[in-house]
Amino acid sequence: MTPKNYLYEMIRSELTWVVGDEHVQANEADNLGHSIDYYWVPECWHDRGERPTPPDLVVYPGNTQEVAAILKIANTHKIPVTPWGGGSGSQGGALPVYGGIVLDMKRMNKVIEIDPVTMCVTAEAGINAQHLEWEVEKAGFSTMHLPASISCATLGGFIAHRGTGVLSTKYGKIEDMIMSLEVVTPTGEIINTLPVPRHASGPSLTELFLGSEGTLGVVTKAVMKIHPIPAARKFHAYLFETMHDAMVAGSQLMISRMRPAVIRLYDEASTARIIKRVLNIDRKGAYLVFGFDGPEKIVDLEMEEACKICEKTSKEDLGTEAGQSWWKNRYKFFYPPYMFQLPQAFGTLDTVATFANIENVYWAMKNVVKENFPQAAFIGHFSHWYDWGCMLYARFIIDEPPKDPNEAVALYNRIWDMAIRAAIREGGVINEHHGVGLKLGRIMRDLYGPAFNVLESLKKVLDPNNIMNPGKMGFPGKGV
């Protein structure tokens, strides 16, 4: 599309007819915001004075029927459509890399029903996650999906990227929380997945769209589990001599089938650099924090048993205060200046693996970064723990990357390629909750092997004209 020809005006008129004049925007103020998400590459591009690709039009649908009508128009004219929630994804999944339509979902922000019998909430997918949580809390419940991006991401964004909240170890990832979905397919049909998440009526269509990053359709509505507000939520922190000692304790908590709401383990470098800066805890070693919630008596008993496990190998009991402090400041890590900032180059090498493999994944990535990129620092923490393994939130940081944006991005991509391929060799999976997007599409075939053909076939059937978020998740682009 180009804003200069009459076809553009014809298409804009069609879209305006669907959503109203005010809800089709093509101005430079909005385009700038929609050309940059939380991915380092467009941020770097902007930082170096370049202009990331803007959309041709930003369209704000107000309901599912409007989404369907917009997709029918786009499909007729074969125009790329990139769904946009909060724009806080770190993988470039919401970037309109081929221009076209950005479908900004934030107008679809209604809580439709809070059902205290089934304990679920039905909401439109564009609702801001913090607004959703506030509404659910007002009714006396919680979604228990509380990631650092809660203030900016939308419910649909979480679904698109299989997001994970801070309490994932007890309450699960978003795919464990979603009961059913309403989806508009790329050709404009409105479909609903089955109303319960456990059934034997064929494969789960809900699962098909969870993590599809807007490549298979647009999620417009979701039914999500909610939970009672726990009577107690308590935390405790320990310091270990090494990350390995802490990993042994953390995995023991999980394989003994205890039910912590959260565990976080910071490696020695993170403890020295991040824990010191944000929590003002100045220690050498590996910081481990965990928490339980629920009825107070049960929480106290679980806490007692968990402490017994940690005391076997820990170097220092940092106590409940150091644990509570982490909970209180859990989002502070992501605010400037605590978060890394341009012109620094930084990336989160989000990887998930079994307990048998996770430390090997860590060392493989750390060694590859250290050996090949001496200018990069490598830190990591282990974020989301399950009864079979956990997620590694590894990060590389380069304080002075090349000033030339092409060189900077090339260096950035080289680090990603080498580190992630090293992780995959050790049994790591990219990734646990950030998604694939533009950033990691090229690695999907390596990750999946022949199974990727199945995903490609699904994409072709659902989206014959490849209008939905082209060039993401390893699916074909539109040609440059």
Binding site for other proteins (CB under 8 A): 25, 27-30, 32-34, 36, 38, 43, 46, 49, 58, 60, 86-88, 104, 106-107, 109, 126, 128, 130-131, 134-135, 137-138, 149, 151-152, 331-332, 334-339, 341-342
DSSP 13-71: HHHHHHH-GGGEE--HHHHHHHT--S-HHHHHHHHTT--PPPPSEEE---SHHHHHHHH
Q: Minimum distance from CB of 400 to other proteins (Å)?
A: 16
Q: Minimum distance from CB of 152 to other proteins (Å)?
A: 3
Q: Could you tell me the CA-to-CA distances from 86 to 16, 21, 354 in Å, in that order?
A: 23, 22, 31
Residue closer to other proteins, measured from CB, 338 or 452:
338
| Residue recorded with tokens 């060039």 | 471
Residue closer to other proteins, measured from CB, 327 or 331:
331
Q: Which candidate, 222, 219, 213, places its Cα nearest to that of 185? A: 219
Residue closer to other proteins, measured from CB, 137 or 176:
137
Residue 307 region by backbone torsions, left for phi larger than 0, else alpha for psi between -120 and 50, else beta: alpha
Residue 449 CA to residue 434 CA, distance in Å, equals: 21
Residue closer to other proteins, measured from CB, 14 or 30:
30
Q: Minimum distance from CB of 108 to other proteins (Å)?
A: 9
- Report H helices in 230-318: 243-255, 268-270, 276-279, 296-313
Adjacency order of strands within the sheet including 81-84 = 24-25, 57-59, 101-104, 81-84
Question: 320, 236 in Cβ contact below 8 A?
Answer: yes
Residue closer to other proteins, measured from CB, 46 or 421:
46
Q: Minimum distance from CB of 238 to other proteins (Å)?
A: 26
Q: Minimum distance from CB of 153 to other proteins (Å)?
A: 8
Q: Minimum distance from CB of 84 to other proteins (Å)?
A: 8
Burial class (CB in 10 A: 0-12, 13-18, 19+), 456: middle
Residue closer to other proteins, measured from CB, 269 or 339:
339
Q: Minimum distance from CB of 344 to other proteins (Å)?
A: 11
Residue closer to other proteins, measured from CB, 58 or 216:
58
Residue 157 CA to residue 178 CA, distance in Å, equals: 13
The torsion angles phi and psi of 315, rounded to 5 degrees, stand at: -90, -35
Q: Minimum distance from CB of 51 to other proteins (Å)?
A: 9
Q: Could you tell me the CA-to-CA distances from 90 to 126, 271, 433, 436 in Å, in that order?
A: 18, 23, 10, 9
Residue closer to other proteins, measured from CB, 132 or 444:
132
